[in-house]
Structure 1
Amino acid sequence: MKKNLLALGLLQAIAATTLAATPTQSHAQDAVATTNTAVTTEMERMVVNGQIVYRNRTDDIAPVLSYDLEFFQRFEPRTVGDMLKRVPSVAFLSDVLEYDGARLRGLDASYTQILINGKKVPGGGEDRSFYVDRIPAEVVERIEIVRSPSANRSGDAVAGAINIVLRDAYEFDGGYVRLGASRFDDGEVKPAAAVVASGDLGGGRLLGGISRQGRYNPKQKLSLRYDAPGGEFQDREEQSDTRDGDDTSANLSWVREFDGAKLALSGLYVRTDRTETEHSLEFNDPVSSARENLLSINDQVEDIRQDNFALKAELDVDMAGGRTRIDGSFSRYDDDTVSTEQETGFDDDDTPPSWDGFEGVRTLTALRDDEVAFTLAHQRDVGAAKLDFGVDYTGKDRDLALRVSEVEAEEEGELLPPYEDFDLTASTIEERRIDPYLMLTGQSGNLEWETGLRYETTRSDIRVDGEQWDNDYSALLPSAHLRWNVTDADRLSLSLARTVRRPDFNYLAPVFLEGEYGDNDFIGNPLLEQENAWGVDLGFEHRLGRQGVVGVNVFYRDVKDLIELVNHGEPSATALEDFEDEVEDFLEDNPDATPDTPGYPVLEADSFVYSAANVGDGKVYGVELDLSTPLTAFGMPDTGVFLNYSWLDSKVDDGLGERRFNNQARYVLNVGFIQDLESINSSFGISYRRQGGAESRVIGEEVETTYGADLEAFVEKRFGESWSVRLTGNNLLDAKKQETFHKFNTRLDQIERSYDEFELESEQSGRVYQLVVRYAF
């Protein structure tokens, strides 16, 4: 109740201080933005006609980069992940040819807020991340990169936000059919098809689309393990990892305008059916694959079914001297996965190694994550300024059930017994948020400004296996944005905002995980609070001619209450087992001994139970450069180039010393060009991407990750105004992902560099070719 009264008082107090606002006037939309907005009504016909599209120059006072689908379309992206890999500062820590958890400014995906049509959506990640490769590119109108939030957006966006704007019936006219097929490195061919159409219905505009595309990724992995860097060889593992499935999506949008009102209804549904199959062979020789060197055979199969859907209704109406917006949305994420792993082990003490066991583990995962959201907002002129205030409500319910069954064969040649006895771990996390906000915008000459205040309150309820914990927390989030239109072509922007990052679900749920970090165990902390950060963005942008844009941005984030692992103070299960074995051995030699007997073992644990706590601080900073322009100044108006480069860095002290934020790439580079050949109705282009190395350090493990360069190319031929044929090639350099693992049993071992294992792993997937035929009508 006190928090709600504080929120109400905050709104009243700030409203009272805004009545003397400075004058403002309507600012005309930039010529480039006008051009790019106009072409959206031409749907895919612009692609057929071979028109190059560049980054939009938006009118937002807050720093926002906007890219229409047509910016990416020539390279035929399959998913939003394929689109995002081309924009500034977005990195991935995925397998080769996988682009799932977008890492804006290189930070963990949980620091990046993913929105669909401006609304948060649930995802399957334990770190609250949403896998952007679940959304097909066909349903997208544009991608917005929001570098610094405004008060009318949710504040959990330390790194920034990515807004995926779906096709809108009001702005899309016509339709198209897309048919294609992809050929993968092992010869597998996967089809793809999509239909999108719009028209008048019920006094409004209706848009509908459906798509289905095959997803496939055959990967080969090699791991070499040693007892330490430069030390004795331990074993070699060869693994094939194939991901085979289909994504099916459907989207609808209906928009109708009334006198002084606009009603918009939209829906999106995406189903993923996928099977992941891994086959591994482990040998005790660095090169030989003979039977006498075989240590184990491991097979793992995951059958995955995931369903995402989102429904939204929005009403904008003129009332009370301004414009009122009422919207509601419901989103659901369902994940049903059956994972079965079976391993046959061989005893290396015999030559050749003899059978040493056959065991299996089956894990059933059932996850449902629902979010309900409502917004009531009002915008009006106050004096000569514009006032925007409202309240957002969000309700999240996340239910997770894990069932695990372990079986083993008694004799060589026997089949595994049925998976019947399952151990169940069930958890439920409920969160309720009420977030009022107030925002004021205005203009004075060439200076435009926006300032706002948001107050976010969260009430959480966590239940695990019948036990319950409650936790409440809140944050006051001010923001301010300033833009100086130096000339018609040049503008400077400055942003200041406070943001938060909510705790990972696996850190909140107090589930005991044995051996989670080397010999150390882990248990979640349901009383964790959110991290918070003050951030600054300073940018300059210059318009090049009518279509080109070049920009540079410097950013800084000061993160407080960083969530880090802390020693819970209790010995780990491994330490207790070792102590029990030591006591048993002592009693065998001293049958009548008691704890008072001289020499009786004393528990001196070297591994412990760890938990999570808000104990750290960190800093994140970098420079972002982007360029998108035709080469008209060089007499080549039919040549378009794009370049973006982001230098990224950070500092954290985790108790073992200073490090960067875990898995933050050191840089992200994208460069490419598109060349139109109008005389023969053809085009071709190349895109090159490189991502810097990343490092991670937790208790018991340190990982270094590097990626090879990614080269893509396309060539297309257009026939009239309606037909086009494109051939694209992905991963043409056959890039590798390489990881180096430093593994330790205890924290002391990690400090003293006493290794448990040192591993070198490489992964490769191969080239992919895609042929697409598109007909616009």
Structure 2
Amino acid sequence: MQTDLILFNSVLLSSIFVSTAAAAPAQPTPESEIPYISEIQLPQTSAQFLFQDTNASSTSVAQTPTSPAEESEEPDIELDVIGTPLVNFIEERQNSPTGVIILDQKEIQRFNYRTIGEVLRRQPGVVLGGPPGEDKDVRLLGLPKEYTQILINGQRFPDGGESREFKVDRIPVSLVERIEIISNPSAIQNSQGVAGTVNIILKKAPDGRIADLTVTGTTLETVGPFGGVSFVYGDRQGDFSYLLSGGVQQREAPKDKFKQSLDLQNRPTQEEREYESKSLFDISLAPRFVWQVSAKDTLSFDPFFLQTNEEKDAIRNVNNQKFFSPSGRLQELQQQTISLDEDKTITGWRLGGSWEHQLSSTADITLGLLFQQTDESKDKIERTNSTTTTFRNAAGSPIDTARPLRNTDIIKREDETKTDQELLITLGFNFRPWENHKFTMGLEGSLRDREKKKISTEQQITPVLLAAVEKTGPKDIYGIEENQLNLFVQDEIRLGEKHTLTAGVRMEAFDNKATAADNSAIGQSGTIFNPSLHYKYQVFPTTVFRLSTARTIRRPKFDDLIPFRESKNGTLLQPDVIGNPNLKPETSLGVEAGIEQSWGNNTGAFGLNGFYRWVDDKIENDTNFNSTNNRYEQSFRNVGDGKIYGLRVDLQTRTPFLGLPNLTLFGNVSFLGSEVEDQISREIRRFKEQPAYVANLGFDYVIPEWGMNFGLSYNILPGFENRELKDGKNEVTNQAGENALDAYVAFRLTNNVQLSLFGKNLLAAERSKSRSIFDTSGVFESSRIEQETAERLYGISMSWQF
């Protein structure tokens, strides 16, 4: 009922905006500013290998005739954003030899998105994980975050997460030139993306002077004003071009959480209410320097700095209750007040450079060197004050005066540091041995070291002061060494005017070493060959058919590779937990077919794509009985195979056929499915937390005579069911759907100043879960409900190009 009401309200609001737009007087439309395809030079897809995004593509593009009707389309009245390429992003998508979704700066900046996570949430098949409103963990195809690969300028950037993920809420949009979402990679792209790859391309050094200053102010319902400042400045002096870009921004993320556990008789055994205040402060710098040393040699230097300071304070009130059996009277009440103070700093930086040499008119070579490091430090103090009251088994449950009131005060401390550093060398070679062949080969070598050290202590303060006791876990201290050598070969073949075949193979050889806290170490090495084949058929000048297949991998989480043992009772309910240094990567063979249709001189496009992936060596948390020691053991193992499949549909178009030439409609829906055999029930279930579908709807309307445009974006995420074995119990989780609504209105004050008003999370998204607990024989034991809400955000932004 609530979902229907939300949908009705959003449709009603959209109707009001559309009615207002329709009432605006029509204006004569000038000639289109979009160039013909034959007039442009396409930039190369940047997810190939390090620093290759600076090269212009040498792919020839056939001229497409344009009808007079198409020439009359009106361009947007928005400001020209800094660094926007001349090429329309729909045009780029159609001309790419492989399937890719491209988001240009106009799309990124339209709704005044603050971070990359907010941008990606509205894209086909994308689900964002993390607390409501934060949008930090990308989950392509609705799969867990470890199946999605995040690249920055074509290379992975280290982060603190154990699942090899990167929290995209840390990257402000002011640094970004464009974003590419790649579903099936080619051989020259990193293979670690079973669900897909998101390549974030930072702004490039310009050919002429550019300057932009943007100031943003935002507010929440319970938090005062906060915001940020970003700048872009660049120019070209002779053979030297440079770009200075960066910014600071503050983000607030307050939360209100509620949890309740019920027993078999539907009595509340635990109630928990938590109020959390989280403040984040981001500092980012992404300069770029390019020097044309000679007619054939180019040097570039690309440093990158990203720091996030996070402060979190929370108060949690917990009531635990026990009842007499069979009377059901209250037996014991434990009241806890838990205060949390946590400070975290994540600092990441990259120093990279490249040398590009033009060997001939048909061949070039690129040598790149990169060093990057991320340091994360966290200090956490948790203080728990607990009061326990006992009652007699009598009418009214009177207090048991024979048993005194018990009061305890405990302090827990955590001091955690993580360091992840990598040295990467790349060598790429491109040449055209024949007119219809573009041959690419390359080498990548990397040395990676990762260290984690978390020291945990617990100390009782009252009723008796005791010495602090160390509670450090067996996998809280470890070291990981990952050395990798990648070789790739690819040939892009033009089979006539309409057919393109891109074939390649990528070899990834790895040598790993995992060291536990006791200095025990186990190594692992291997070689994986990942072939890929992409076929493109230009059916008509505006119609493209694609068919592709590629092999991808998902490497295990870092801490699952540690040789450790955490001894518990060794029973089925409390099994020992062990690491698995011999855990193999999951591998996937993916097939994808799709058709893309554009119209209106690339002001409208429709895409239909189907995909199917076979997953081998699926990694699952599994519990087995070890006959050598007569104990149950739980660890992550390669337990079997799985399947992932679905259909993506996306549409964007202007609507002159409705009498509204200034209205742009856009939307997408992705139908998602998967299969994996449950290790407990042997039933076929979905991958963890994957929804059945995800959809986005929206519109953008321009009123030229007012110098104004406005729009809405509505995100629909249905609920899901998840089953897993946890603490010797079978947990079935049902999460309700989440819907999000964003809106904006922008005014052009002068030729180079734009003012925008925006609202995000206007529906105050709430995350609601219910969990049912069963024993191993399937008998129901208890249930639990969880609710978490995020606040609406309102803001104003002013951009000045000078």
Q: Does 1:367 align with 2:418?
A: yes
Aligned partner of 1:428 among 479, 482, 487: 479
* Contact residue 82 and residue 99 of structure 1 kept, 8 A: yes
2:32 alignment counterpart? none
* Contact residue 54 and residue 548 of structure 1 kept, 8 A: no
Counterpart Cα distance in 1 of 2:473 and 2:688: 33
1:442 alignment counterpart? 493
Q: Does 1:664 align with 2:694?
A: no
Counterpart Cα distance in 2 of 1:462 and 1:692: 40
TM-aligned CA deviation for residue 281 of structure 1: 0.8
Aligned partner of 1:569 among 611, 616, 625: 625
Q: Does 1:532 align with 2:587?
A: yes
Q: Does 1:681 align with 2:707?
A: yes
Question: Can you list the C-alpha shifts for 1:691-748, whole angstroms capped at 9, x where unaligned?
Answer: 122333332233332342101111122111111111111111111011122346xxxx
1:545 alignment counterpart? 600
1:217 alignment counterpart? 253
Instruction: Decide whether aligned partners of structure 1 residues 498 and 420 sit closer, same or farther in structure 2, where only a CA change above 3 A counts.
Output: closer
Instruction: Decide whether aligned partners of structure 1 residues 481 and 54 sit closer, same or farther in structure 2, where only a CA change above 3 A counts.
Output: closer
Q: Match for 1:460: what amino acid?
A: N
Give the TM-score of the pair, scaled to structure 2: 0.82
- Identical pairs, percent: 27
SS at match of 1:486: strand
Larger deviation, residues 645-654 vs 560-569: 560-569
TM-aligned CA deviation for residue 621 of structure 1: 0.4
Aligned partner of 2:275 among 237, 240, 249: 240
1:11 alignment counterpart? none
1:6 alignment counterpart? none
TM-aligned CA deviation for residue 570 of structure 1: 4.9
Larger deviation, residues 131-140 vs 706-715: 706-715
Counterpart Cα distance in 2 of 1:139 and 1:706: 35
1:758 alignment counterpart? 783
Counterpart Cα distance in 1 of 2:573 and 2:801: 57
Give the TM-score of the pair, scaled to structure 1: 0.85
Q: Does 1:557 align with 2:591?
A: no
SS at match of 1:78: coil
Q: Does 1:481 align with 2:534?
A: yes
* Contact residue 143 and residue 689 of structure 2 kept, 8 A: yes
* Contact residue 214 and residue 230 of structure 2 kept, 8 A: yes
Question: Can you list the C-alpha shifts for 1:273-306, whole angstroms capped at 9, x where unaligned?
Answer: 11112211123589xxxxx976211112210000
* Contact residue 43 and residue 175 of structure 1 kept, 8 A: no
Q: Does 1:402 align with 2:454?
A: yes
* Contact residue 281 and residue 294 of structure 1 kept, 8 A: no
TM-aligned CA deviation for residue 568 of structure 1: 4.8
1:308 alignment counterpart? 348
TM-aligned CA deviation for residue 640 of structure 1: 1.4
Counterpart Cα distance in 1 of 2:453 and 2:534: 44
Aligned partner of 1:337 among 378, 401, 411: 378
TM-aligned CA deviation for residue 340 of structure 1: 1.6
TM-aligned CA deviation for residue 202 of structure 1: 7.1
1:12 alignment counterpart? none
1:327 alignment counterpart? 368
Counterpart Cα distance in 2 of 1:31 and 1:729: 41
SS at match of 1:86: coil
1:68 alignment counterpart? 104
Question: Can you list the C-alpha shifts for 1:522-555, whole angstroms capped at 9, x where unaligned?
Answer: 2110111111111001010000211211101100
Counterpart Cα distance in 2 of 1:43 and 1:371: 41
2:34 alignment counterpart? none
TM-aligned CA deviation for residue 162 of structure 1: 0.4
* Contact residue 674 and residue 686 of structure 2 kept, 8 A: yes
TM-aligned CA deviation for residue 677 of structure 1: 1.0
Question: Can you list the C-alpha shifts for 1:583-633, whole angstroms capped at 9, x where unaligned?
Answer: xxxxxxxxxxxxxxxxxxxx997xx32112212110000100111222233
Counterpart Cα distance in 1 of 2:698 and 2:261: 39
Q: Does 1:459 align with 2:515?
A: no
Q: Match for 2:739: what amino acid?
A: A
2:328 alignment counterpart? none
Counterpart Cα distance in 1 of 2:64 and 2:350: 33
Aligned partner of 1:645 among 655, 669, 674: 669
Aligned partner of 2:725 among 696, 699, 703: 699
Counterpart Cα distance in 1 of 2:678 and 2:81: 52
Counterpart Cα distance in 1 of 2:414 and 2:627: 28
> How many residues of Structure 1 are paired with residues of Structure 2 in the alignment?
702
Q: Match for 1:438: what amino acid?
A: V
Counterpart Cα distance in 1 of 2:165 and 2:627: 32
Question: Can you list the C-alpha shifts for 1:383-441, whole angstroms capped at 9, x where unaligned?
Answer: 331211111112211111111111112318x7x87799978942110111111111011
Unaligned runs of 5+ in 1: 1-23, 287-291, 573-602
2:53 alignment counterpart? none
TM-aligned CA deviation for residue 47 of structure 1: 8.9
Counterpart Cα distance in 2 of 1:293 and 1:610: 33
Counterpart Cα distance in 1 of 2:697 and 2:410: 49
Counterpart Cα distance in 2 of 1:706 and 1:52: 41
Instruction: Decide whether aligned partners of structure 1 residues 376 and 309 sit closer, same or farther in structure 2, where only a CA change above 3 A counts.
Output: same
Counterpart Cα distance in 1 of 2:718 and 2:208: 38
Counterpart Cα distance in 1 of 2:208 and 2:785: 50
Counterpart Cα distance in 1 of 2:493 and 2:182: 20
* Contact residue 508 and residue 525 of structure 1 kept, 8 A: yes
SS at match of 1:309: strand
Larger deviation, residues 560-569 vs 541-550: 560-569
Q: Match for 2:795: what amino acid?
A: Q
SS at match of 1:662: coil
SS at match of 1:107: coil
Aligned partner of 2:564 among 494, 511, 518: 511
SS at match of 2:174: helix
* Contact residue 197 and residue 207 of structure 1 kept, 8 A: yes
Question: Can you list the C-alpha shifts for 1:249-294, whole angstroms capped at 9, x where unaligned?
Answer: 11101123331233222122111111112211123589xxxxx976
Counterpart Cα distance in 1 of 2:583 and 2:521: 14
SS at match of 1:633: helix
TM-aligned CA deviation for residue 326 of structure 1: 1.1
Instruction: Decide whether aligned partners of structure 1 residues 77 and 201 sit closer, same or farther in structure 2, where only a CA change above 3 A counts.
Output: same
TM-aligned CA deviation for residue 25 of structure 1: 7.6
Counterpart Cα distance in 2 of 1:631 and 1:218: 40
1:253 alignment counterpart? 288
Counterpart Cα distance in 2 of 1:467 and 1:285: 44
Larger deviation, residues 314-323 vs 88-97: 314-323
* Contact residue 362 and residue 419 of structure 1 kept, 8 A: no
2:148 alignment counterpart? 112
Aligned partner of 2:633 among 603, 609, 613: 609
Larger deviation, residues 710-719 vs 165-174: 165-174
* Contact residue 78 and residue 748 of structure 2 kept, 8 A: no
SS at match of 1:102: strand
SS at match of 1:554: strand
Question: Can you list the C-alpha shifts for 1:183-233, whole angstroms capped at 9, x where unaligned?
Answer: 1120322121111111125732111112111110111011111124x7332
Counterpart Cα distance in 2 of 1:166 and 1:223: 41
Counterpart Cα distance in 2 of 1:418 and 1:202: 65
1:522 alignment counterpart? 577
Question: Can you list the C-alpha shifts for 1:346-376, whole angstroms capped at 9, x where unaligned?
Answer: 2242467933422121111100111222111
TM-aligned CA deviation for residue 107 of structure 1: 1.0
* Contact residue 490 and residue 543 of structure 1 kept, 8 A: yes
SS at match of 1:507: helix
Q: Match for 1:450: what amino acid?
A: T
Counterpart Cα distance in 1 of 2:405 and 2:146: 46
SS at match of 1:709: strand
Instruction: Decide whether aligned partners of structure 1 residues 456 and 67 sit closer, same or farther in structure 2, where only a CA change above 3 A counts.
Output: same
Counterpart Cα distance in 1 of 2:419 and 2:732: 32
* Contact residue 260 and residue 786 of structure 2 kept, 8 A: yes
2:61 alignment counterpart? 27
